[in-house]
Amino acid sequence: MRTCFNLKSKGSPVLYFIGKGWFYNAIRFIKSFHSSLQSIIINLDKSIMGGILMNIGIIVHSHTGHTYNAALKLQEQLIKEGHPATIEKVTVAGEAHPGSKNIQLATKPEVKEYDGLVLAAPVWAFSLSEVLVTFLNGIPSLKDKKIAAFVTMSFPWAWMGGNRAIRQIKKLCAAKGGTVIATAIIGKSGNDPQKLQKMIEDINGVFLAGMELSQK
């Protein structure tokens, strides 16, 4: 009688199941069912209970890759939150420098399909890169878009071009009927870890909650 309840004994029904792998498979099944259910609930919560999943276009001009790298990190987070987020590059046909006139763009992303936009570019000569200026001047409308923006710069102080670049983005967007609701300036060529993290949190926050952050 005692041996019936001894799990280590040969012939125990528990050992039989474990031996066949059924027990572990059952646990695995319950776990995966639980996590699928959790992700369904999170997505329902986001789409019904006030969170908004948006199709987001991250429109980037990046000459040497720093702004693009920051955009990649933001994209990763937005996708984790469930937003479809696509990076689209603005590129130049020929050359562009600070002060260039008549810049010809090789790639002009189409913004119409996006609910939300993130505009990103480097600071050039204490201003917004002329490439993003040319792009924003050329788009038809930004009406009804939720817009965020960030710039990267080498100096760690926003007053050395970052603030001006953000003001320019806001003005160019306003001229197309759009309002920028979250902004960030990342020094050390986009490699300031704290500023980078804050940019990701702030921009993700406005798209996730549909809230407006105060302008920085």
Ligand X SMILES: Cc1cc2nc3c(=O)[nH]c(=O)nc-3n(C[C@H](O)[C@H](O)[C@H](O)COP(=O)(O)O)c2cc1C
Binding residues for ligand X, per CB under 6 A? 62-68, 98, 122-126, 152-155, 160-161, 189-190
Q: Which CB, 32 or 64, lies closer to ligand X? A: 64
Q: How far is the CB of 117 from ligand X (least distance, A)?
A: 18
Closest CA to 70 of 21, 112, 23, 118: 118
- Please name the residue that has the structure tokens 């003005």: 171
Closest CA to 123 of 167, 87, 174: 167
Q: Which CB, 61 or 145, lies closer to ligand X? A: 61
Report the distance separating Cα 70 and Cα 93, nearest Å. Answer: 24
Q: How far is the CB of 60 from ligand X (least distance, A)?
A: 8
Q: Which CB, 67 or 204, lies closer to ligand X? A: 67
Contact 173, 179 (CB under 8 A): yes
Tokens representing residue 60 in the block: 């980037």
Q: How far is the CB of 205 from ligand X (least distance, A)?
A: 23
Question: What's the one-letter identity of residue 127?
Answer: S
Q: Which CB, 65 or 138, lies closer to ligand X? A: 65
Residues pairing with 152 in the sheet: 122, 186
Q: How far is the CB of 82 from ligand X (least distance, A)?
A: 27
Q: How far is the CB of 75 from ligand X (least distance, A)?
A: 15
Q: Which CB, 23 or 126, lies closer to ligand X? A: 126
Cα first-last separation, the chain: 76
Residues pairing with 118 in the sheet: 58, 148
